[in-house]
Amino acid sequence: MRCSALPEDLVAAQCAWERTYRSLADPANRQRTTALRRRLLRLSVQVWWHPYWQQAGSGQRCAPRPESWNQDPGR
């Protein structure tokens, strides 16, 4: 199955989220925690509500589900 490419702005926001999260976890940034938390929240909203997810939520997936997911749990 072919995957559509993620939009550049979504990838950039996710990368910024990862960098901000790592900065927040770094003890050297104790003086900046409020600013980093605010940035992390803003980026979380940006990633979560990106229009791409509305299109991706239409049932199209990039990878098929593992066969084990299709098995009945009672087996």
Express each pLDDT in 29-43 by its tens digit. 999 999 999 999 999
| Helix/strand/coil for 34 | helix
pLDDT band at 67 (very low <50, low <70, confident <90, very high): low
Q: Note the pLDDT of residue 56.
A: 77
48-62 average pLDDT score: 76
- Predicted confidence (pLDDT) at residue 55 exceeds the cutoff of 90: no
Pick the closest to residue 23 from 44, 37, 8, 2 (CA basis).
37
46-55 average pLDDT score: 92
Contact present, 24 and 36 (Cβ < 8 Å) = yes
Q: Note the pLDDT of residue 1.
A: 43
Sign of the CA dihedral with 18 first, then 22, 25, and 29 last: negative
Tokens 């104790």 found at: 30
Pick the closest to residue 23 from 4, 5, 6, 40 (CA basis).
40
